A and B are shown apart, each in its own frame.
Chain A
Amino acid sequence: MKHIRNFSIIAHIDHGKSTLSDRLIQHCGGLSDREMEAQVLDNMDLEKERGITIKAQSVTLDYKAKDGEVYQLNFIDTPGHVDFSYEVSRSLASCEGALLVVDAGQGVEAQTVANCYTAIEMDLEVLPILNKIDLPQADPDRVCEEIEDIIGIDATGAVACSAKTGIGIEDVLECIVENIPAPEGEPNDHLQALIIDSWFDNYQGVVSLVRVMNGEVKKGDKMVVMSTGQTHIIDKVGIFTPKQTETGILRTGEVGFIIAGIKEIHGAPVGDTITIHKKEAAQPLAGFKKAQPQVYAGIFPISSDDYESFRDALNKLSLNDASLFFEPENSSALGFGFRIGFLGMLHMEIIQERLAREYDLDLITTAPTVNYEVETTKGEVISVDNPADLPPVNEISEIREPIVQANILVPQEHLGNVITLCIEKRGVQKDIIYHGNQVAVTYELPMAEVVMDFFDKLKSTSRGYASLDYHFIRFEASDMVRADVMINGDRVDALAMITHRSNSVARGRMLVEKLKELIHRQMFDIAIQAAIGNNVIARTTVKQLRKNVTAKCYGGDVSRKKKLLQKQKEGKKRMKQVGNVEVPQEAFLAVLKLEN
């Protein structure tokens, strides 16, 4: 056990985590050059395309250190995007140490700070690594100062490396062996294995990534999932090298996989503890809090025929994504679909893309909203994640919106823009600290404003230099109203939005104008109105299309005219019928694009 080192890498997107992990694997001979596909740990196509990590993965490496001993290094990958910070804490729970990888040119970013604090709170040994040292803009001294100043850890021994060129990789490995403590645990105790992650494999069923805290687990053991008490015979036990490699046993302190013919992911919940039947551990491990969805949106199949396949697709996706929450939703405008909860906007985009790409579904997504707490005049408190579910105005005594604490790191020269943005988004400044050229500012902001396009705006207003981390802190009473949209008098539930009263008229106007651009002229005038209750706050009209007819047609070749009409028809098929009006899909997301 004293030759085991379990660690994660904490890094901001683009700071080179994936490249560094590839280099570590290569150095330890985990894969031959031929097998070394770029960024092996990012498995999903989407992860590769977007250059981000969504799910935790692990790899076990054998490293022969300078002291002549061979060490087992277990590297557990962590996601780098703010939407997935929940997954980071899971990876960290299985480690004794973490590499804090910072781009030696760009310095510390807010997300890194947040994750680093999580690691420190979990008593992990944090080792600062300066990456991209080969780049001309690298400034290791300044970045070390930032690490000490902003995060508050000693950076004197920081290892400098370049994952791209391979400089310093050996130093990184030596640093891991020297500084990260070996795991502790009782090999002779009853088994306690923490499920770090579970995913569904079409051929093997559920594969669980576990960290053995005490005892050992072998192939053929009858395991018990402690929260459910369900038992399964273990088919396979092993490690990722990064190839799935059976070892037949995992001992105290080790990280690897267990496969036990479990058919669905909820049979091996993340954070649960595995023990052995008849030799059961007295207590489960601490585990994790369940991830709470932050953003909700309705997703509907364009054709009602696709409802069943849509449900199947969601079930399959949730096999691999325990954070995906969904329940049936019925919209008068869009028919039957699902209300889906996401960890954030990126999570939502990824799910949308996977549904379209892997399941070939034509779907309409409604504007995302956060979860509101509504107190009714009867004194009940209900949770509302869909504008359509908001009770009538006269039955509401108070609407409370979720507030987040946002920690933003930004170079001084962009501070003014960032503050302007936060004020525009109804933010209240809580703290501001200057660290050399970097400024750490803390705001309390309505979550509704943050989850939409705040991140993109923050990036553009700071030329990409500002970084953000946020977390929910409380619900707060706020003067929120629901703005409805009526198309030719028909209230379109899927277009309703919950907005702060002070913004409602402006947003209502922008929304109807946006809809006017998106809804094409049809055989009649189309009135578009926005209203709060019965009070119309904005209106506009899409004028009638005067005619739609081909001037000339004399026998001859009809194929081209036919193609034209076919194209027109295909376009209409992708639209939704509201009363007599054909409404394009984009209209349902118009709320999102109000300020662009």
Chain B
Amino acid sequence: MSLLVQQPLSLYIHIPWCVQKCPYCDFNSHKLKNDIPEKEYVAALIQDLDDDIKRFKLTNRKLHSIFIGGGTPSLFSGAAITDLLDQVFARFDKKEDIEVTLEANPGTVEADKFEAFAQAGVSRLSIGVQSFESDKLIKLGRIHDNEQAIRAAQLAKTCGVKSFNLDLMHGLPNQGIANALDDLKQAIALKPDHLSWYQLTIEPNTAFGSKPPKLPEDETLWDIQEQGIKLLSRAGYQQYEISAYSQPNVQSMHNLNYWRFGDYLGIGCGAHGKLTDVANNTIHRTVKVKHPKGYLEKNRAALYQVNSVTAQELPFEFMMNQLRLREAFPIERFEHTTGLPLATVETQLLLAKNKGLLHAHNNTWQVTPLGHRYLNDLLEMFL
């Protein structure tokens, strides 16, 4: 008998175009050459969605959240986003207060566009500020400056969305502790509901990956993190995930669902999805065609690549997500999302507990502050 239980369903929509590619970015994004084929792309997305709905029998399922990410979704017109969301909502049992996030680049912002997004149903804007220092922004390949970043945040407050997030990086090339904290203070001053404050990581297959910039020393990075968390905490931002901080009760519903190993459809170029198939006691993963050209050619058969996640991989995948969160997780969450009894990972859990990386309490498990510092070492145990 399967332990699997149907999980909340989110929807990720990928918009693959950017004005230019940032040297640190390893997401599926492509420099925009001509006008965006908005109409065609929205049509392809809906076709993609319908295929998923049919394949996984999702008609009239309740939708937990939507995230429009990229690339730069804010390059799309208000009309295109309206069209897209209207069609998506028509296919699901829409929750009234559903969280719909859209990622915006401060360099592509106009006041009426933000209002149009809000009108279309976007309830949350996520603004990729990254830094407030001009020289850092140039180094990071960003198309906006300090003033545009501030203006975007102010617009987000007044355009009609319920909440907004600022993406901010630290550990940038040549960044000292004072610069990093100053960036953070400026972000806090804009009073976002949510801050994604994460350390720059050099990823393979990026411009930085092939020509790595000189990053601050480990000790500096550590000081930045320690003092930054204090600063955030004093301003009322609670850390609930490795790099996510929020005012009380405005955590990102969509990201929480990822981290709790919930389900999500992924539509658009290169989008990944994960679906629990209780009836067949299986968990599916989907990947869509990566390049916009191929995706738009509507070769339906090529859109899908469905892999079933094997039982062996599941514990690790669960932990890799769940243990990013500060919150304790109930044992049932492991069993319901992986279909495996907790006994499968008991040895590792106890080992981690003995090392002070995990804490067990009332049928829940929780990562300790030490476990969060050395999360990679902790996750390794589940490989």
Show the binding face of A for B, using Cβ within 8 Å: 523, 545-558, 561-562, 565-566, 568-569, 572
Residues A558 and B380 in contact, CB atoms below 8 Å apart: no
Residues B199 and A551 in contact, CB atoms below 8 Å apart: yes
Query: Which of B135-143, B147-155, B216-224, B295-303 sits within the interface?
Result: B216-224
Q: Which residues of chain B come closer than 8 Å to A554, judged between CB atoms?
A: 255, 258
Inter-chain CA distance A550–B321, complex, in Å, is 11
Shortest CB distance B22–A (Å):
14
15 contacts between A and B (CB under 8 A): A523-B373, A523-B377, A546-B221, A547-B222, A547-B374, A549-B373, A553-B320, A553-B324, A554-B258, A555-B12, A555-B264, A565-B376, A565-B379, A566-B383, A568-B376
In the complex, B372 has a CB within 8 A of chain A: yes
In the complex, B225 has a CB within 8 A of chain A: yes
Inter-chain CA distance A545–B373, complex, in Å, is 10
Q: For chain B, residues 339 to 383, give those with C-beta under 8 angstroms from any C-beta of chain A.
A: 370, 372-377, 379-380, 383
How many chain B residues touch the partner (CB < 8 A)? 35
In the complex, B233 has a CB within 8 A of chain A: no
Residues B374 and A569 in contact, CB atoms below 8 Å apart: no
In the complex, B198 has a CB within 8 A of chain A: yes
Residues B287 and A548 in contact, CB atoms below 8 Å apart: no
Name which residue of chain A comes closest to B377, CB basis: A548
In the complex, B272 has a CB within 8 A of chain A: yes
- Assuming A558-B317, A565-B376, A569-B380, is B198 touching A551 (CB within 8 A)? yes
Residues A562 and B383 in contact, CB atoms below 8 Å apart: yes
In the complex, B316 has a CB within 8 A of chain A: yes
Name which residue of chain A comes closest to B27, CB basis: A556
Inter-chain CA distance A552–B130, complex, in Å, is 14
Identify whether the interface residues of B are mostly helix, strand, loop, or mixed. Answer: helix
- Nearest 8 Cβ contacts at the A-B interface: A555-B258, A546-B222, A549-B375, A551-B198, A547-B373, A548-B376, A551-B199, A569-B380
Q: Which residues of chain A come closer than 8 Å to B272, judged between CB atoms?
A: 555-557
Residues B372 and A549 in contact, CB atoms below 8 Å apart: yes
Shortest CB distance A463–B (Å):
39
Show the binding face of B for A, using Cβ within 8 Å: 12, 198-201, 218-219, 221-222, 225, 242-243, 255, 258, 264, 266, 272, 274, 287, 313, 316-317, 320-321, 324, 370, 372-377, 379-380, 383
Inter-chain CA distance A102–B38, complex, in Å, is 82
Q: Which residues of chain B come closer than 8 Å to A568, judged between CB atoms?
A: 376, 380
Shortest CB distance B196–A (Å):
9
- Assuming A551-B199, A555-B272, is B374 touching A523 (CB within 8 A)? yes
Shortest CB distance B26–A (Å):
9
Residues B321 and A552 in contact, CB atoms below 8 Å apart: no
Interface centre among A546, A561, A566, A569 (most CB of B within 10 A): A546
Shortest CB distance A490–B (Å):
18
Residues A550 and B222 in contact, CB atoms below 8 Å apart: no
Q: Which residues of chain B come closer than 8 Å to A523, judged between CB atoms?
A: 370, 373-374, 377
Given contacts A523-B377, A550-B376, A562-B383, 5 further A-B contacts (CB under 8 A): A523-B370, A546-B221, A546-B222, A556-B272, A562-B316
Inter-chain CA distance A206–B93, complex, in Å, is 81
With beta carbons under 8 angstroms apart, the residue of B12, B243, B383 that contacts A565 is B383
Residues A546 and B373 in contact, CB atoms below 8 Å apart: yes
Q: Which residues of chain A come closer than 8 Å to B313, judged between CB atoms?
A: 562
Interface centre among A549, A562, A568 (most CB of B within 10 A): A549
Name which residue of chain B comes closest to A556, CB basis: B272
Residues A551 and B242 in contact, CB atoms below 8 Å apart: yes
Shortest CB distance B329–A (Å):
16
Q: Which residues of chain B come closer than 8 Å to A555, judged between CB atoms?
A: 12, 258, 264, 266, 272, 274, 321
Residues B198 and A546 in contact, CB atoms below 8 Å apart: no
Inter-chain CA distance A557–B258, complex, in Å, is 12
Shortest CB distance B343–A (Å):
22
Shortest CB distance B54–A (Å):
22
Name which residue of chain B comes closest to A552, CB basis: B198
Q: Which residues of chain A come closer than 8 Å to B218, judged between CB atoms?
A: 545-546
